[in-house]
Each structure stands twice: as C-alpha cells, then as structure tokens.
Amino acid sequence: ESNKCIYCDKTFTNKFALVRHKRMHTHDKQYKCKCCMNSFAQECALERHQKNQMSAKPNQCCLCEKCFVKKSCLIKHQRVHTGEKPYKCGKCGKCFTQNSGLYMHNKRHTGERPYRCEQCGKCFAEKCNLKYHQNTHTGERPYKYGQC
C-alpha cells in the first residue's frame, strides 16, 4: 500500500516508479526538449518525442516545421523561438542571436563605414543603407527605410 498512487489508486512495485507516475498527475514536467521547449513528465516520453523529431526530418524545426540543410542553421533559427542571444557586445552589452549581428553592431563603436556612395562620397556601415541612399539620387523608392 505504501507504493499506491493517491490520485488513481494504481500500485507500483517500488517508490521510484510511483514518483515517476505521479508526475503525470501533478504536471511536474521536468524533462524539457532543447529543440522546442516542450516538457515531459517522464524521461522516456522526452526520448520518444526527440526520436520522432529526428526521424521525420533531421534538420526540421519542431515549432514551425522549417527545414534546414545544416544543423548549425537550424540551431541559429531556433533562437527566433527561444529568444536566446548568445553574442554579447563587449562595449555596451547589447546581445545578438547571430555573430554577424554583433559584427555589424561593432561597426557602430569603431565608426567603420566601408560602403561608399560613388556619386556623393557619403559612407555607410551597412550595405543595405548604401543601397537605400543610392535611391535618393535616382528618386526610386523600392522599400521603406530599415528593411535591410
């Protein structure tokens, strides 16, 4: 009787099995999928979930089902869902999801502006801003500012 579930009266052979079972009733889901952040009460349920994810498409996002050729691209993409920003600026503390974002940001601190307009000589830190600027010379407005 000491290994009997108080929620459903099921009896177990040992205390460990009872504790594992009770998690289903209490919603104590301590096993989290690193891919999609789903939680599971039992480790075997998490393992089954992860196996299903991998067998479907090896580099497919669990949350939006986008597929990627490389696992590294999937990992970068998943930061959209998790909000993880592992790349931190050493000067101001701003964080970025990708190293390329930090690289572009650092140009603000250094003042580096490698993209130069041939018509007027004005320089820009980002290529997309140069392209937008060049349209001021032609009068063309293909997109709003900031859509780099």
* Domain ranges, ordered by start, for the chain: 15-82
- β-strands 39-40, 115-116 pairing: unpaired
Q: How many whole angstroms separate alpha carbon 87 and alpha carbon 20?
A: 38
For 48-77, the pLDDT digits (tens) are 887 776 665 678 888 887 887 788 888 888
Architecture of the CATH domain 15-82: 2-Layer Sandwich (3.30)
For 97-120, the pLDDT digits (tens) are 888 889 888 888 988 888 899 999
Task: Kindly state the tokens that stand for 125.
Answer: 């830190």
Look up the pTM and report it: 0.45
